[in-house]
């Protein structure tokens, strides 16, 4: 199970606080002439600080998910403006926030923004040299657990799906899209 960024940050904070206390205790034992105890405490503090650094890095890479009760945000990447408008409207009607993008570059800009993104929905065929496979791989390089739904009418490329993803064929009904989102753990709030 993927831990959320907030849990990772909280654990890193606790590790840092405990390391601070261990260093304070080490200083006390150092003044008391207990160098071996002080050194052991400092080693534990260093190990906790190293763990805290790893946890903070994992928090940065964790999926940015809406908190309980918040409306999930879906990044929709579709180069056909009319279809993007329809899909966005359907998702909004179902209770989701939608961030639209028509290109790889647009999606990449949204992925680097501070906005919480709960799911990536991407067409496989995009303009220029990038594909939906590329969008998902870029998103996953930043957020390893981000759920992904690929959609396509057809694709001549070799599939490159990421873990925790689904592929839907166009045209797909909004109910099929919502069901796929639920399978990946993304639901609209009640």
pTM score above 0.85: no
Same domain, 141 and 104: yes
Same domain, 9 and 45: yes
| Residue 138, token pair as written in the block | 């870029």
| 3-state secondary structure labels for all residues of 34-102 | CHHHHHHHHHHHHHHHHHHHHHHHHHHHCCCCCCCCCCCEEEEECCCHHHHHHHHHHHHHCCCEEEEEC
| Pick from 1-10, 88-97, 150-159: least confident | 1-10
Q: Taking 80 as the threshold, does the pLDDT of residue 5 lie above it?
A: no
Same domain, 116 and 174: yes
How far is the C-alpha of 67 from the C-alpha of 55, rounded, in Å?
A: 19
68 located within any domain: no
166 located within any domain: yes
Q: Residue 2: pLDDT band by 50, 70, 90 thresholds? A: very low
Question: By residue range, what is the domain housing residue 43?
Answer: 5-61
| Pick from 18-32, 112-126, 134-148, 159-173: least confident | 159-173
CA 141 vs CA 26, 58, 67, 133, 158: distances in Å? 40, 12, 22, 12, 20
Same domain, 84 and 164: yes
Same domain, 52 and 96: no
What separation, in Å, do the N-terminal and C-terminal C-alpha atoms of the chain show? 24
Same domain, 120 and 44: no
Q: pLDDT per residue over 43-84, tens digit each?
A: 998 988 888 888 777 666 555 555 556 788 889 999 888 888
Q: Which CATH number characterizes residue 88's domain?
A: 3.40.50.2300
Computed over every residue of the chain, the mean pLDDT equals 81
């Amino acid at each position: 199970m993927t831990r959320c960024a907030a849990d990772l940050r909280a654990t890193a904070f606790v590790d840092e606080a405990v390391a601070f206390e261990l260093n304070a205790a080490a200083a006390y034992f150092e003044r008391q002439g207990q160098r071996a105890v002080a050194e052991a405490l400092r080693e534990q503090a260093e190990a906790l600080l190293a763990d805290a650094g790893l946890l903070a890095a994992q928090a940065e890479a964790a999926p940015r998910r809406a908190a309980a009760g918040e409306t999930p945000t879906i990044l929709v990447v579709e180069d056909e403006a009319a279809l993007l408008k329809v899909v966005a409207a359907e998702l909004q009607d179902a209770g989701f926030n939608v961030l639209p993008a028509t290109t790889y570059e647009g999606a990449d800009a949204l992925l680097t923004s501070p906005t919480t993104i709960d799911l990536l929905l991407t067409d496989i065929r995009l303009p220029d040299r990038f594909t939906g496979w590329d969008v998902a791989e870029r998103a996953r390089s930043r957020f390893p657990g981000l759920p992904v739904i690929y959609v396509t009418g057809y694709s001549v490329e070799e599939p490159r799906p990421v873990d925790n993803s689904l592929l839907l064929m166009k045209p797909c009904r909004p109910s099929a899209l919502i069901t796929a989102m639920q399978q990946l753990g993304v639901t609209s709030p009640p």
